[in-house]
């Protein structure tokens, strides 16, 4: 293996080719070790590696897992191949990067090693005020209609629509957000270059142009059957809440809802005809799991922002500010300082914002651009203002 | 006025022609006075009547109401007219009668003065294990289909289906119960001889033949606009719970649901397409008022009998007995004694039941007949047994 992988970032890439996505044994190992250390132990001679780990009181699980990972070492790509992907428009985002969505850290040991990203928007800012809209591949015309309308209305309210890029409800959700000139994020179960399902090549190109494609899998990798379920935790963890539009009783969308519930994020379900099998999972979520019954984007926004009016995404209990609700805990201090100087009415120029926020003009302009990409602020005649609800 | 009305039963009939249904002033007056006393005070000379009441510390409200009632004295029917109605198949049921549904007493001052009843079944027993299925007159094909199927399945589980006899969901609910050879009760807003809506003459004849028609209004009276809403309290109060199948946001069915909620009876709503205005009221009930989202008869039975399996109506927390759940608090001691001797498996003859229950054979046979009409017990090869869920 190339010594270039000795650094932490490249060690994560290498490990992403060795372990399956969300491998909890690797996650646990990374609690106390760097990726480079785990990689070094994995690729070192069998006996020596085991000896080091066991000497530290590690249980046999990690030792066994390393044995499995070691068999895949030949899959680790060369630096040149990595460069090819990056030249092809993919970028690598790892924990600690500015674009890393820190809400993924709530996944604990199941946090992804890294994310491959393609698209014009900033992943972290895009997901900060987002909602997942998911559902059955075998959707009905009703479900597709509702997903499209709801995603468009959510996007118009400044929310990023996250989904899984699949046929059916997922595709309608992405298309609705795109049609409303909103941001949308497609979290794929396979690699971004593989681009499954192939029939969605056009949709994925549109998503990348206006939003973001994301995957934790090596770019060329085909999706595996368990991979779809493992991917669902990312959809739930990236968003502030999950809406299930249509789902049969054993639909994978219910798995996404379960992840959202485990993360204590709001789970919402769209009702449908009781005569439709594709709505049975939604009704079960409402009946058995306390999911909120939502009928339109206003209901969704209300449920994401309890106490808000629903007519605007930002009228949360925190104050009278108009515009999308922002979980300011997730903002870094500089961004928060800049955002606080953007007025809710009228407008303010970037130089004035920079002075008031105590940052230089370049930082202010760059931060305002990111906040705009996230749907939090918008340009106006007088400069910048908090984004108004449509 | 005929002196024949001096007795309590006839005084209630007379008052039912003077006061509007559910008049709370009359209900309050009847807390401390017999109907005959109130009637006498109403029909006596103006000044004298007022003087008597005010001397007892009554407020002016009753005095004013009596003035209004007195103007209608000419409407009170003759004894001959009453006899004509009764010969035409109507029977009069007042509080204290064996057929009086004692659950109506929970309405307090809004308890009806009396009920006019037409039909083959016993009102009290029929309603003891019942559920209301109500909804919009302007129902969709979807709503009518669901109401019909659900009512049939509820009837097959031994539940009496109560509704309002209106076009749309109500009619489908009655028809579903009839189709399943079940019991159904239509609570009309106008008088039973008037039979509104006229287009339902055939349906009402079928309900009377197999179940019961009920009204608190004088038999010839046309329904009034407020009368529909006032009638709704009876639908809610007669049944163990209310299911709204379809309702627009301002549907009268939501008024029935409100009455059920005020009576602390379970309120259930059937979801439908979020694109359908006729389901918007149902979704509002689930979202805003905590109504249970039910998709089929099994869900309804489960919600009426928390802890039960839903596959059978009787597997409540009270015990392992099979058959419909019975609120035994509402049974008189003799009926309860007879029911307790009806076996859940096998069967037992009426003579044996009579001896074990400590009642005479005639009483046992009559009580078993009433329990059978209520769907609680059924004949079998060995005599009688608790009714099995279908």
Strands (E), A50-200: 91-93, 115-119, 130-134, 160-163, 184-187
Contact A286 B286 (CB under 8 A): yes
A19–B contact, CB cutoff 8 A: no
- Closest partner CB to B295 (pick from A270, A274, A293): A274
User: Closest partner residue to A270 among B274, B294, B296, by Cβ?
Assistant: B274
pLDDT band at A379 (very low <50, low <70, confident <90, very high): confident
Q: For A102-304, which CATH class? A: alpha beta
Token digits for A28? 């646990």
B294 neighbourhood in chain A, CB within 8 Å? 287
CA distance B190 to B174: 18
Closest of A170, A196, A173, A198 to residue A183, by C-alpha? A173
Mean pLDDT of A40-67: 71
ipTM above 0.85, yes or no: no
User: For residue B167, with 0-12 CB atoms within 10 Å meaning exposed, 13-18 middle and 19 or more buried, which class applies?
Assistant: middle
Contact assignment for B287 to A299 by CB distance below 8 Å: yes
Mean pLDDT for the stretch of residues A291-314: 77
Please say whether the structural domain A331-386 has been given the CATH code 1.10.10.10: yes
- As a whole number of angstroms, the distance between CA A376 and CA A115 comes to 24
Subunit contact A275:B145, Cβ cutoff 8 A: yes
Question: What is residue B214's three-state secondary structure?
Answer: strand
Q: In sequence order, what are the beta bridge partners of B134?
A: B244
DSSP-assigned states of every residue in B120-170: SS-HHHHHHTEEEEE--SS--HHHHHHHHHHHHHHHHTTPEEEE---TTHH
Distance between CA atoms of residues B321 and B343, nearest Å: 9
Among A142, A292, A299, beta carbon nearest to B273: A142
> Helix, strand, or coil here: B380?
strand
Q: How far is CA B322 from the centre of its chain?
A: 25
Q: Pinpoint the alpha helices (H) of chain B.
A: 8-18, 24-32, 35-43, 46-55, 60-70, 79-87, 123-128, 141-156, 169-179, 201-210, 225-238, 252-262, 277-289, 297-304, 333-340, 350-357, 361-373
Contacts of residue B88, defined as CB under 8 A and 6 or more positions apart, other chains included, come to B193
Q: Within 10 Å of residue B209's Cβ, how many Cβ atoms?
A: 12
Segment A226-253 shows an average pLDDT of 96
Element (DSSP H or E) covering residue A49: helix A46-55
Query: For residue A61, what pLDDT is reported?
Result: 86
Q: Which tokens hold the place of A10?
A: 């490249």
Q: Do B287 and A295 touch (CB under 8 A)?
A: yes
Asked if B295 lies within 8 A of A287 by C-beta distance, the reply is yes
Q: What are the chain A neighbours of B286 within 8 Å (beta carbons)?
A: 271, 286, 293
Do A314 and A320 meet the contact criterion of CB atoms below 8 Å apart?
no
B5: nearest Cα among B103, B114, B161: B114
Distance from CA of B292 to the nearest CA of A (A): 7
**Sign of the dihedral defined by the CA atoms of residues A272, A273, A278, A282, in that order:** positive
Q: What local confidence, expressed as pLDDT, does residue A319 receive? A: 33
Shortest Cα–Cα distance, A289 to chain B (Å) = 12
B137 Cβ under 8 Å from any chain A Cβ: no
- The number of residues making up chain A comes to 390
Q: Is B244 helix (H, G, I), strand (E, B) or coil?
A: strand
Per the CB < 8 A criterion, the answer to whether B303 and B266 are in contact is yes
Which helix (H) or strand (E) covers residue A176, if one does?
Answer: helix A169-179
The label of the residue with tokens 């201090």 reads: A333
Q: Is A151 within 8 Å of chain B by CB?
A: no
Got the DSSP string for B19-36? Answer: SPTT-HHHHHHHHHS-HH
- Residue B328's pLDDT is 61
Residues in chain A closer than 8 A to B292 (CB atoms): 287
Q: For chain B, say whether A286 makes contact (Cβ under 8 Å).
A: yes
Tokens of B358: 């400590």
Give B288 to chain A, closest Cα distance, Å: 10
Question: Is B336 at the interface with chain A, CB within 8 A?
Answer: no
Please tell me if residue A281 touches chain B, with a CB cutoff of 8 Å.
no
CA of A140 to nearest chain B CA: how many angstroms apart? Answer: 12
Interface test with A, best of B287, B294, B298, B301 (most A CBs within 10 A): B287
Contact list in A for residue B272 (CB cut-off 8 A) is 271-274
Residues of A in contact with B142 (CB under 8 A): 273, 275
Global confidence as pTM: 0.78
Does position A96 have pLDDT exceeding 50, yes or no?
yes
pLDDT (tens digit per residue) in A253-297: 999 999 999 999 999 999 999 999 999 999 999 999 999 999 999
User: Can you read off the two tokens belonging to residue B130?
Assistant: 């019942």
Tell whether A295 lies on the interface with B, counting CB pairs under 8 A. yes
Find all residues with CB under 8 Å of B75, minimum gap 6, and list them: B17, B18, B218
Query: For residues B158 and B161, what is the distance between their CA atoms, to the nearest angstrom?
Result: 9
pLDDT score, position A389: 56
Give B277 to chain A, closest Cα distance, Å: 11
pLDDT band at residue A340, thresholds of 50, 70 and 90? Answer: confident
Strands of the sheet with A242-244, listed across from one edge = A91-93, A115-119, A212-215, A184-187, A160-163, A130-134, A242-244, A267-269, A292-293
Residue B275 is nearest to which of A142, A279, A283, comparing CB atoms? A142
Tens digit of pLDDT at every position of chain B (390 positions)? 444 455 899 999 999 999 999 999 999 999 999 999 999 999 885 555 555 555 555 667 888 899 999 999 999 999 999 999 999 999 999 999 999 999 999 999 999 999 999 998 999 999 999 999 999 999 999 999 999 999 999 999 999 999 999 999 999 999 999 999 999 999 999 999 999 999 999 999 999 999 999 999 999 999 999 999 999 999 999 999 999 999 999 899 999 999 999 999 999 999 999 999 999 999 999 999 999 999 999 999 999 987 544 444 433 333 333 334 455 666 778 888 888 889 888 888 888 898 888 888 888 888 888 888 777 888 888 888 887 754
Distance from CA of B280 to the nearest CA of A (A): 8
* CA A39 from centroid of its chain's CA atoms: 26
Give the count of Cβ contacts less than 8 A between chain A and B: 57
- pLDDT the model gives residue B323: 36
A279 to chain B, any CB pair closer than 8 A? The answer is: yes
Given an 8 Å threshold on Cβ–Cβ distance, is B142 in contact with A280?
no
CB contact under 8 A, B287 and A283: no
**pLDDT at B294 (0 to 100):** 97
pLDDT at residue B370 in the model: 80
Whether B379 has its CB under 8 Å from any CB of chain A: the answer is no
CA distance to A239, B16, B285, B315, B362, per residue, from B289 (Å): 27, 34, 5, 27, 48
CA-CA distances (angstroms) from residue A130 to A101, A126, A127, A184, A385?
12, 7, 5, 9, 20
User: Distance between CA A261 and CA A232 in Å, rounded?
Assistant: 12
Rounded to a whole number, what is the distance in Å from the CA of B272 to chain A's nearest CA?
4
Look up residue B106 and give its DSSP letter: G
């Amino acid at each position: 293996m190339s010594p270039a992988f000795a650094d932490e970032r490249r060690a994560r890439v290498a490990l992403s080719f060795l372990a399956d996505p969300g491998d909890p044994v690797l996650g646990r190992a990374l609690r106390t070790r760097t990726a480079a250390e785990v990689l070094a132990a994995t690729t070192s001679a069998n006996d020596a590696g085991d000896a080091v780990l066991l000497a530290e009181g590690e249980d046999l699980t990690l030792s066994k897992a390393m044995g499995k990972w070691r068999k895949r070492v030949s899959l680790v790509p060369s630096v040149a191949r990595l460069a090819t992907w990056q030249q092809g428009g993919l970028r690598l985002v790892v924990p600690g990067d500015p674009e890393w969505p820190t809400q993924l850290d709530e996944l604990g040991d199941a946090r992804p090693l890294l994310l491959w990203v393609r698209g014009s928007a900033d992943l972290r800012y895009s997901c900060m005020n987002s909602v997942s809209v998911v559902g059955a591949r075998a959707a009905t015309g009703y479900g597709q209609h509702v997903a499209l309308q709801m995603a468009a209305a959510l996007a118009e309210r400044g929310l990023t629509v996250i989904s899984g890029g699949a046929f059916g409800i997922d595709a309608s959700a992405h298309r609705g957000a795109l049609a409303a000139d909103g941001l949308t994020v497609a979290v794929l179960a396979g690699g971004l270059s593989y681009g499954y399902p192939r029939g969605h090549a056009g949709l994925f190109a549109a998503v990348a142009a206006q939003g973001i494609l994301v995957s934790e899998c090596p770019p060329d990798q085909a999706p595996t059957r368990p991979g779809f379920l493992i991917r669902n935790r990312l959809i739930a963890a990236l968003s502030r809440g999950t809406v299930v539009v249509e789902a049969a009783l054993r639909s994978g969308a219910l798995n996404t809802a379960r992840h959202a519930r485990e993360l204590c994020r709001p789970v919402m379900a769209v009702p449908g005809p009781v005569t439709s099998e594709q709505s049975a999972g939604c009704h079960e979520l409402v009946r058995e799991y306390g999911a909120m019954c939502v009928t339109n984007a206003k209901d969704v926004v209300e449920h994401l922002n309890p106490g808000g009016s629903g007519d605007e995404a930002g009228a949360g209990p925190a104050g009278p500010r108009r515009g999308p609700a922002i979980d300011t805990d997730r903002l870094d201090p500089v961004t928060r300082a800049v955002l606080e100087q953007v007025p809710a009415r009228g407008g303010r120029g970037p130089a004035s914002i920079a002075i008031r926020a105590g940052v230089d003009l370049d930082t202010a302009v760059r931060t305002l651009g990111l906040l705009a990409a996230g749907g939090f602020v918008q340009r106006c005649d007088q400069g910048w203002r908090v984004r108004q609800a449509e």
